[in-house]
Amino acid sequence: MDRFSLPFLFLFSLLLLSSALVSTVTSSDLDDDEPLIRQVVSSDDDGDGNDHLLNADHHFSVFKSKFAKTYATQEEHDYRFGVFKANLRRAKRHQVLDPSAVHGVTKFSDLTPSEFRRQFLGLNRRIRLPSDAHKAPILPTNDLPADFDWRDHGAVTGVKDQGSCGSCWSFSATGALEGAHFLATGELASLSEQQLVDCDHECDPEEHGACDSGCSGGLMTTAFEYTLKVGGLEREKDYPYTGTDRGACKFDRTKVVASVSNFSVVAIDEDQIAANLVKNGPLAVGINAVFMQTYIKGVSCPYICGKHLDHGVLLVGYGSAGYAPIRFKEKPYWIIKNSWGESWGENGYYKICKGHNICGVDSMVSTVAAIHATSQ
């Protein structure tokens, strides 16, 4: 038995054990994967007694200076140090469950999981997965390249930062339309998320009460629907991002630069996802972001990950090059553009393994096509 299979079998048997418990887990428990992750990795470092093993004081000092963190009061400082220590333990658990990635201290390490979700995610909850409305046609998959990255073809703008606003959905939507607009016109234009945050209140026809609502969340497909209806999106520089949703809509139709011609939902099939990516440009995808709070680099391939989607991101490519210890060789992955700035992850990007709908990454994929907008 090699080094890989023994811990894996151990985790697997714990997983079977915990799956018996999962059936009793309510949907509100599923707001946070941590209880399940804790059940599976109930490591001895989980207590408060041995923080010195984690070298928490030192890590917290480095964290504060690296990310220029200041706290208004000593109480706040002490509270954040407690949260930070809990996140060091989480990062260790994530590392055990996700050995092909590196987990550790990130700029989110002083936030509780629920603060993190509220402030930095923002995908509207869907009970049902996208239905057949605008289903993407099935594409041939026999000629797909082994590796593909839209960044190499000029279809992807620089990494943006949603700040402390649950507007991930708007960044995912602009990223897909930026790529589609590039394919339609040859021009790479950075598009306005703020227009979506301020002006798009479109509701999901299938999900009662799920309406795009600025920093409180939204969906990429409804953002495409809005964009289709109003005629398009302005440039980033004409309608710049503020990261708040308290302003009135300042949309100026004469400044539209990119317009949607049509959009559709891609089947939950990794070959179809790859084929749509290569043919139509970067894709808007939903993902479960629980492992992303502690992600540093590498290919994330957790043994367990929730499939409820809470974050909207942009799928820009895929690869399979060797990237990690030999035992993980040639594991194929998706390349994901995130909207948390370049100081997060691999210069703002995330790699997640391909092949098993890990963290729900295949579950909510949409593709958009652009028309050339005639500027007036």
Ligand X SMILES: *[C@@H]1O[C@H](CO)[C@@H](O)[C@H](O)[C@H]1NC(C)=O
The catalytic residue positions are 168, 311, 338
The rounded distance, in Å, linking the Cα atoms of 135 and 170 is 21
Q: Is 136 in the site for ligand X (CB under 6 A)?
A: yes
Cβ-based nearer residue to ligand X, 177 or 299: 177
How does strand 349-353 pair with strand 295-300? parallel
Q: Is 367 in the site for ligand X (CB under 6 A)?
A: yes
Is residue 118 within 8 Å of 165, Cβ to Cβ?
no
CA distances, 110 to each of 70, 82, 85, 107, 364 (Å): 11, 8, 9, 8, 30
The rounded distance, in Å, linking the Cα atoms of 221 and 309 is 14
Q: Is 60 exposed, middle or buried (0-12, 13-18, 19+ CB in 10 A)?
A: buried
- Cβ-proximal residue to ligand X, closest one: 264
Q: Coil, strand, or helix at residue 306?
A: coil
Among 71-79, 149-157, 231-239, 256-264, the segment contacting ligand X (CB under 6 A): 256-264
Restricted to residues 68-97, the positions that interact with ligand X (CB under 6 A) are: none
**Whole-number minimum distance, CB 366 to ligand X, in Å?**
8
Cβ-based nearer residue to ligand X, 179 or 286: 179
Among 19-27, 79-87, 113-121, 367-375, the segment contacting ligand X (CB under 6 A): 367-375
By CB under 6 A, name the one of 182, 239, 263, 340 that touches ligand X. 263
**Whole-number minimum distance, CB 176 to ligand X, in Å?**
9
Q: Is 280 in the site for ligand X (CB under 6 A)?
A: yes
Q: Is 137 in the site for ligand X (CB under 6 A)?
A: yes
Cβ-based nearer residue to ligand X, 157 or 366: 366
**Whole-number minimum distance, CB 125 to ligand X, in Å?**
24
The rounded distance, in Å, linking the Cα atoms of 352 and 262 is 28
**Whole-number minimum distance, CB 368 to ligand X, in Å?**
5
Q: Coil, strand, or helix at residue 376?
A: coil
Q: Is 264 in the site for ligand X (CB under 6 A)?
A: yes
By CB under 6 A, name the one of 299, 336, 368, 373 that touches ligand X. 368
Largest distance between two CA atoms of the chain = 68
Cβ-based nearer residue to ligand X, 294 or 366: 366
By CB under 6 A, name the one of 39, 262, 320, 357 that touches ligand X. 262
Concatenating the DSSP letter of every residue in 176-213 gives HHHHHHHHHHS----B-HHHHHHH---B-TTSTT-B--
By CB under 6 A, name the one of 101, 184, 189, 369 that touches ligand X. 369
CA distances, 69 to each of 28, 63, 294, 296 (Å): 31, 8, 17, 19
Stated as kind and residue range, the H or E segment containing 276 is: helix 270-280
Question: Cα dihedral sign for 51, 54, 57, 60?
Answer: negative
**Whole-number minimum distance, CB 317 to ligand X, in Å?**
18
DSSP class of residue 347? Answer: T
Cβ-based nearer residue to ligand X, 280 or 300: 280
Among 118-126, 286-294, 304-312, 363-371, the segment contacting ligand X (CB under 6 A): 363-371
Q: Is 313 in the site for ligand X (CB under 6 A)?
A: no
**Whole-number minimum distance, CB 299 to ligand X, in Å?**
28
**Whole-number minimum distance, CB 229 to ligand X, in Å?**
16
Among 43-51, 91-99, 194-202, 261-269, the segment contacting ligand X (CB under 6 A): 261-269
**Whole-number minimum distance, CB 319 to ligand X, in Å?**
23
Concatenating the DSSP letter of every residue in 115-153 gives HHHHHH--BPP-SSPP-STTBPPPPP-TT--SSEEGGGG
| Amino acid of residue 239 | Y
Q: HEC string of 232-260?
A: CEEECCCCCCCCCCCCCCCCCHHHEEEEE
Size of the site for ligand X (CB under 6 A): 9
Cβ-based nearer residue to ligand X, 250 or 279: 279
> Interface residues with ligand X (CB under 6 A)?
136-137, 262-264, 280, 367-369
